[in-house]
Structure 1
Amino acid sequence: MNKGKAALSDAELVAILIGSGSLNESAVSLSQRILGKAENNLNVLGKFTVPQLMEFKGIGEAKAISIVAAMELGRRRRAGEALEKHKVTSSTSVFELMQPVIGELPHEEFWIIYMDNSNKVLQKVQLSKGGITGTLVDVRLAFKNALQLGAVGLILVHNHPSGTLKPSHADKQLTQKLVKAGESLDIKVLDHVIVTEKSYFSFADEGIL
């Protein structure tokens, strides 16, 4: 209260979430131990599941859920800030918008960002969700959404949980299929961006759209 939230360490912030430690350990000490297992990196902590957190003595289900919920709120805030702050004018802005949403997932998801003629985001929609190896995309649904929103452009985005940035043959085929479908409806596919935890690959930047 006296010094403000910025004065607190990561461990002290986590300690506030969990409220108390155990008989032999303070909340701050317990939080430091948890962060130590997470390489003192909040992005790594954000990947911990409830069962993983409950492996720490002093962390029950309720405390574990509080930590997971706080990490999720942080991710959603980042995504919301990107949406408010940026017109989508580059592949970097696509990465900033979508990395908090899909960059750290253990499975593949395919999203479409629908835009107006000023490159403002009308909506971002998850089109499909798959396993570790891939996902299926309904081209008709992609353009049905575009027509309903009055979108004039769209950007395809999906993640590679493996961390590889190289597009697969299937990625290239799907991109061309959507580009051709968009041409007949006068809706331009502006880019296809592959997102990983730390980086991205842009079809438009590489000249292969």
Structure 2
Amino acid sequence: MTYCLRIADIPTNERPRERLIAYGPKSLATAELIAMLLGTGQGPGKLSAVGLGQYILQKLGENQRDPLEVLREMSPQELMEIPGVGPAKATTILAAIELGKRTFYSRPPERKEIDSPEAAAAALSHELMWQPQERFALLLLDVKNRLIGTKLLTIGTATETLAHPREIFREVLRHGATRAIISHNHPSGSLEPSPEDIQLTRQLLQAGQLLQIPLLDHLILGNGDFQSLRQISGLWEEYPQGD
């Protein structure tokens, strides 16, 4: 069964693109996913994009074949034999299939373990060490202290930057991290923590206890060196992180 209803005639909240945004790609039928790639319809009976997607699946499924299995091995020329599929549509579909294959077979890189303040400072030095403005960055770690990624949160003036605990833990949660290290630089080269640095660290340690997301350290970088607040302060004894 195919249908000729135009995408523009479908209520906005029921259109494939809007449903994908609201509910994710798994909420769409295969024909709707193909329609997202086609962009426009046509073919026999001037089908809509979704209708053309259904028609393509029907043609590929002839002789009781699995249409997706057939599609995985098709050439552009074979796909263009289907009415309504020209070079642009064929190459877009096959490019998406190839991208899906590469994504499926790719192996994630081995995550580096951050097992010391030195390792954390090395991971952050590119973002922070020699910058003329104060920057605040975040190391995102998994449960085994392996590096998921780094996130530059704010850039301030030559002497000041701001980072709110809400923004910091939002990024931790958004990236699926289970623990974190925060860091900022002092363009002056001084590694001495300011009262504001201590107060922010205290707030983040309290939030880490509440959210059960350990904050492992707060590093200050500058002039080719670094300082670990965990090593020089008693804040982690005051607010244990369970790490």
Shorter-chain TM range is 0.5 to 0.7
Confirm or deny that 1:92 pairs with 2:118. Answer: yes
Query: CA 1:182–1:94 in 2, change beyond 3 Å: closer, same or farther?
Result: same
Q: What is the rounded CA distance, in whole Å, between the counterparts of 1:84 and 1:134 in structure 2? A: 35
Confirm or deny that 1:202 pairs with 2:219. Answer: no
Partner of 1:11: none
Q: What is the rounded CA distance, in whole Å, between the counterparts of 2:158 and 2:110 in structure 1? A: 31
Confirm or deny that 1:113 pairs with 2:139. Answer: yes
Partner of 2:74: none
Provide Cα deviations, 1:163-182, integer angstroms capped at 9, x if missing partner: 00100000000001111111
Q: What is the rounded CA distance, in whole Å, between the counterparts of 2:113 and 2:230 in structure 1? A: 17
* 2:207 paired residue among 173, 181, 184: 181
Normalised by the length of structure 2, the TM-score is 0.50
Q: What is the rounded CA distance, in whole Å, between the counterparts of 1:168 and 1:204 in structure 2? A: 14
Provide Cα deviations, 1:103-140, integer angstroms capped at 9, x if missing partner: 01110000111110111111211111100111111211
2:130–2:223 CA contact under 8 A, matched in 1: yes
Q: Secondary structure at the match of 2:230?
A: coil
Unaligned 5+ runs, structure 2: 1-108, 236-243
Partner of 1:165: 191
* 1:127 paired residue among 153, 158, 162: 153
Give the superposition deviation at 1:149. Answer: 2.0
Which one has more relative contact order, counting CA pairs under 8 Å at least 6 apart?
1
Once the two structures are superposed, the pairs formed by residues 1-209 of structure 1 within 5 Å of their partners are: 86-209=112-235
2:127–2:152 CA contact under 8 A, matched in 1: no
Q: What is the rounded CA distance, in whole Å, between the counterparts of 1:86 and 1:163 in structure 2? A: 28
The count of corresponding residues between Structure 1 and Structure 2 is: 127
Query: CA 1:84–1:94 in 2, change beyond 3 Å: closer, same or farther?
Result: farther
Aligned-pair Cα RMSD in Å: 1.7
